[in-house]
Amino acid sequence: MDLAKEIKRRRTFAIIAHPDGGKTTLTEKLLLFGGAIHVAGAVKSNKIKKAATSDFMEIERQRGISVATSVMGFEYNSLKINILDTPGHEDFAEDTYRTLSAVDSAIVVIDAAKGVEAQTRKLMNVCRMRSTPVMAFVNKMDREAKDPFDLIDELEKELNIKTLPLSWPIGMGASFKGVYNLYGKQLNLFSGSAKQHIDEDVVNISDIASPELEKYVDSYAAKLRDDVALLQGVYSSFDVDAYLRGELAPVFFGSALNNFGVQELLDCFCQIAPHPRQATTEERIIDPFEEKMTGFIFKIHANMDPNHRDRLAFLKICSGAFERNKAYLHVRQGKQLKFSSPNAFMADKKSIVDEAFPGDIVGLHDTGNFKIGDTLTEGEKLHFTGIPSFSPEMFRYVENADPMKSKQLAKGVDQLMDEGVAQLFTSSFNGRKIIGTVGALQFEVIEYRLEHEYGAKSRWEPISLYKACWIESDNKAQLADFMQRKHTNMAKDKYGRDVFLAESSYALQMAQEKFPDIKFYFKSEL
């Protein structure tokens, strides 16, 4: 085993986008070109029978949206590619934010007709905070779209990052012919007839000055030559180091649905995207080439396979080599754990692995030992940073709708809350269970999963709250006084921490003013 060689051949990245940007479709086509699947699925499963590989949950197949990050790994051109397909909907943004802590780069998908949208801006802010290298894929060029030059300007302005087109579209909408690969100096044209399979009918023209160009793109040849000349005059050559620092975003155009531009994106990504990078802990910086294994849990998925009620913790390996049946220190619990069946992923399809390396995502069967943010090491006590849990903005009481299924409901709520997408609070005043989320759609997902995965029927009751905030203070007397005065608004979170449930922004502001020694936190580092 050559550790350095294994690290350098790994590429771990997230695909992020606003809802309906074509993110999951792009994931399917990357898997198709990578040879991981042979038939690409559709996100809207009512159109064709095969559903998207990454949308493996039943509710995802029914709604045609991604509600959970899925992990897919495959080999391509001697590289190990790990894709994390994230939810685009803002109600599931917390899952996406945490996923971005586990990747080394990202591909942001832009709808060519809509341009940059709200959720795209938020996700790019997270990437900038982490200096994550980003590529942009302008999707849906097979539909009527904005002018490519306008899209480039919009990307720079809205996402606050320099851009450099590395491919350029030929036409758009019904007259979309293909893309010119500026990076590889090749023209790739596809018939676009086979949406689920790779079309082998590819034309390569390395010199766009050649008269042969007209034969394939007719009247678009002159415009393509003019556009490329303009691009070469405006943009300097590609600076890979600026991309790796997160200062420059290469831009590709195409149509994921019709396989246009996907191979160009994948081939360029394999060449320039970073191998696993350094990770930050409270104690020190972790270098991936260190011999001793370190890793952290960034996601927990309950009921990955409802038939077996298995719960998986997703471990991002940061350094060293993870080995099956080797004991590792669970830092928070201070105990040694062994894993006899660690999994590699292809969405919901799992295979047991004997070893894994930095950049890899390993699924660990979990009986309740893990929570998000936990660290595994070979003995060193490390605590990884930057894995936040945000304060919920929507709250409802959860009640049992079937008295015969109270145990199933309790178990379901307990396990689903461990995923970290929604949060459970127990009122100190009346003992009722309150679930808080960042978006209303989460309540639908929880209710659906409780019924279909745990056989528990639930009902929601409204509760008027503004914000949940964690509190702590060195002034014990003031803290005790606050908790006594606000006892009807106090609760405990799943881990027994004190939480203040503010009824309004005014109530929160007054509490902060009257109790200056108490710290109010709106984000909990897990």
The pLDDT, as a whole number, for residue 65 is 43
The pLDDT, as a whole number, for residue 511 is 94
The pLDDT, as a whole number, for residue 387 is 67
Alpha helices in 359-494 (DSSP H): 406-418, 441-454, 476-485
Q: What is the pLDDT along the chain (526 residues), one digit of tens a residue?
A: 689 999 999 999 988 888 777 888 888 888 888 776 544 443 333 333 344 444 444 544 454 444 456 788 888 889 999 988 776 445 555 667 778 888 999 999 999 999 988 878 888 888 888 889 999 999 999 889 899 999 999 999 998 999 999 999 988 888 888 888 888 777 777 555 544 444 544 566 767 777 877 877 778 888 888 998 899 888 888 999 999 999 999 999 998 888 888 888 999 999 999 999 999 999 999 999 999 999 999 888 876 665 555 678 889 999 999 999 999 999 999 999 999 988 886 644 667 889 999 999 998 988 888 888 899 999 999 998 866 666 787 899 999 988 888 898 998 888 888 777 788 999 999 999 999 987 777 888 888 888 888 889 999 999 999 989 899 999 999 999 999 999 999 999 988 899 999 999 999 999 999 999 999 988 665 4
Query: For residue 125, what are the contacts with CB-CB under 8 A and spacing of at least 6?
Result: none
Beta partners for 224? none
Nearest to 280 by CA among 294, 261, 263: 294
Give me 373's structure tokens. Answer: 């943010």
Nearest to 298 by CA among 12, 74, 11, 9: 12
- Per CATH, domain 391-525 is 2.60.120.380: no
Helix (H) or strand (E) holding 158: helix 148-159
317: left (phi over 0), alpha (psi -120 to 50) or beta: beta
Query: CA angle, corner 453, sides to 456 and 299, nearest 5?
Result: 120
Residue 106 burial (CB count, 10 A): 26
The pLDDT, as a whole number, for residue 48 is 35
The pLDDT, as a whole number, for residue 302 is 74
The pLDDT, as a whole number, for residue 171 is 86
The Cα–Cα gap between 220 and 171 comes to 7
The architecture in CATH of the region 3-272 reads: 3-Layer(aba) Sandwich (3.40)
Domain positions in the chain are 3-272, 279-377, 391-525
The architecture in CATH of the region 279-377 reads: 3-Layer(aba) Sandwich (3.40)
Q: Cα-atom radius of gyration of the chain, to the nearest Å?
A: 25
Q: What is the DSSP letter of 255?
A: B
Helix (H) or strand (E) holding 271: helix 262-272
The pLDDT, as a whole number, for residue 42 is 39
What 3-state DSSP class applies to 98? helix
> Which amino acid belongs to residue 40?
A
The Cα–Cα gap between 15 and 120 comes to 11
Q: What is the DSSP letter of 429?
A: T
Query: For residue 96, what are the contacts with CB-CB under 8 A and spacing of at least 6?
Result: 14, 16, 69, 86, 87, 88, 123
pTM across the whole model: 0.78
Same fold, 3-272 and 279-377: yes
The Cα–Cα gap between 422 and 437 comes to 5
